Amino acid sequence: MPVGTSGAVKGIDCERLRETGTQMVLANTYHLALRPGADLVAAMGGLHAWMGWDGPILTDSGGFQVFSLADRSRITEEGVEFRSHIDGAKILLTPEKSVRIQEQLGSDIAMVLDQVIALPAERAAVQEAMERSIRWAIRCQAVASRSDQALFGIVQGGLESDFRRQSATALVALEFKGYAIGGLSVGESPEAMIRVLEETIPQLPENQPRYLMGVGRPEDLLEGVRRGIDLFDCVMPTRNGRNALAFTDHGPLRLRNRRHALDPRPLDTNCRCLACRHSRSYLRHLFQTGEMLGPILLSIHNLTYYHRLLTKARQAIANNQFEAFCRKQYAGWNEGPPSEEIA
């Protein structure tokens, strides 16, 4: 799911977003509640009508902002008190308010409010956040009222195996419509993340969606799929695109490098996205001159690449060839660009 924090994936309109292969987008409860406000979005017919997006939308609960805006937030049992990054106003986001806002926004999937902490962390702090997240999940479920909106629980517990199992067991007993694994990609190593997935995913129902939040690199997607993850979101494709980095089957290309100045080839000869209709030389020129078209085109390319990667993964699974597919992908990424690219 591309991240459209404030109701838009940066630089990409809905038609171009569809062309990348995007099926579902993510928007953020905290940011939309601040500006323009959930009342306004509801008055305009909800997120789908307001954005002009007719596909599914998932809204995060604001829980990640507990982590990312830690310097301007305070956590109590009632909820999270923020200082607005816009005007400094105090905002209290409770589990109940998070659900009400998401219902006003009209997303297809809503998330419970949870407490995310940086990793690694002291075991006592991890336990406190995990147990509070369970209590908040119960409160979210108690006020959820839209039958056309699926509420997902979020498994927390840091890098502690027993806490992850405890969280998963408690949430599964509440019978949410789907389950997310949260609190990862916040400072831990890739190996630690994989270990947590291997210990957590078997605790979750196989016949309901399993969502890994905020992850990640192309290789992280494949490792998640290998272990049973169905949904991902991450800013990496678009954020890297805005910073002149393109993902390819031979690893990332950094378009600001001088070696691309006279390169007539597209980013990827197998890609039919808008960016790959141009040469690497031209794309580099756009970044060197500060033209806004550069970040737009590379964001489109990276989203197209991510969706093509996962499309091929689905096909490989259907053909019982997923492991062979992964080996081929890793071989290309590890091999790097063909030798003629190296200046």
Tell me the pTM: 0.95
Q: Scanning the structure block, which residue is given the tokens 């190296």? A: 342
194 and 250 fall within a common domain:
no
Alpha helices (H) in 201-259, listed in sequence order: 218-226, 236-242
The pLDDT value given to residue 341: 47
CATH code, domain with 194: 3.20.20.105
3-state secondary structure (DSSP) of residue 304: helix
Distance CA 254, CA 246 (A): 7
Note the pLDDT of residue 84. 85
Structure tokens at 114: 């949870």
User: Is 304 among the domain residues?
Assistant: yes
Residues 225 and 273 in one domain: no
Choose the final residue of a domain: 234, 251, 285: 234
Q: Confirm whether 9 is domain-assigned.
A: no
To the query of whether residue 230 is one of the catalytic residues in this protein, the response is no
Specify whether 250 is located in the same domain as 165.
no
Residue 53, SS3 per DSSP: coil
CA nearest to 305, candidates 16, 23, 22, 5: 22
Sequence length of the chain is: 343
Residue 2 lies in a domain: no
> Which residue, chain included where needed, has tokens 């830690």?
70
How confident is the model at residue 83, as a pLDDT?
86
Task: Indicate whether 262 and 151 sit together in one domain.
Answer: no
- For residues 170-206, b (16+ Cβ closer than 10 Å) or e, as one string? bbbeeebebbbbbbbbbebeeeebbebbebbbebbee
pLDDT (tens place) for every residue of the chain, 343 residues total: 999 999 999 999 999 999 999 999 999 999 999 999 999 999 999 999 999 999 999 999 988 887 788 888 899 999 999 888 888 889 899 999 999 999 999 999 999 999 999 888 999 999 999 999 999 999 999 999 999 999 999 999 999 999 999 999 999 999 999 999 999 989 899 999 999 999 999 999 999 999 999 998 999 999 999 999 999 999 999 999 999 999 999 999 999 999 999 999 999 999 999 999 999 999 999 999 999 999 999 999 999 999 999 999 999 999 999 999 999 999 999 987 765 444 3
Q: Give the model's pLDDT for residue 338.
A: 62
Same domain? For 301 and 181 the reply is: no
Q: How many structural domains are present in the chain?
A: 2
Q: Which domain holds residue 205?
A: 14-234
Closest Cα partner for 218 from 237, 231, 200?
237
60 has catalytic annotation: yes
Cα–Cα distance for residue pair 81/228, rounded to 1 Å: 35
| Together in a domain, 73 and 151 | yes
Out of 234, 259, 290, a domain closes at: 234
Choosing from 220, 233, 249, 268, the catalytic residue is 233
Q: Is residue 286 part of a domain?
A: yes
Rounded CA separation 191/183 (Å): 15
Q: Confirm whether 123 is domain-assigned.
A: yes
Within 35-72, strands assigned E span: 57-60
| 85 located within any domain | yes
**Can you tell me whether residue 232 is helix, strand or coil?**
strand
Residue 77 included in any domain: yes
So what's the pLDDT on residue 53?
98
The dihedral sign for the CA sequence 61, 203, 120, 184: negative
Instruction: Indicate if 230 and 134 belong to the same structural domain.
Output: yes
- Identify the domain boundary among 234, 251, 272: 234
- My answer on whether 28 and 41 are in the same domain is yes
Residue 201 and residue 309 in one domain: no
Position 85 scores a pLDDT of 82
CA distance linking residue 213 with residue 1, whole number of Å: 10
Q: Quick one: 181 and 322 in the same domain?
A: no
Residues 52 and 80 in one domain: yes
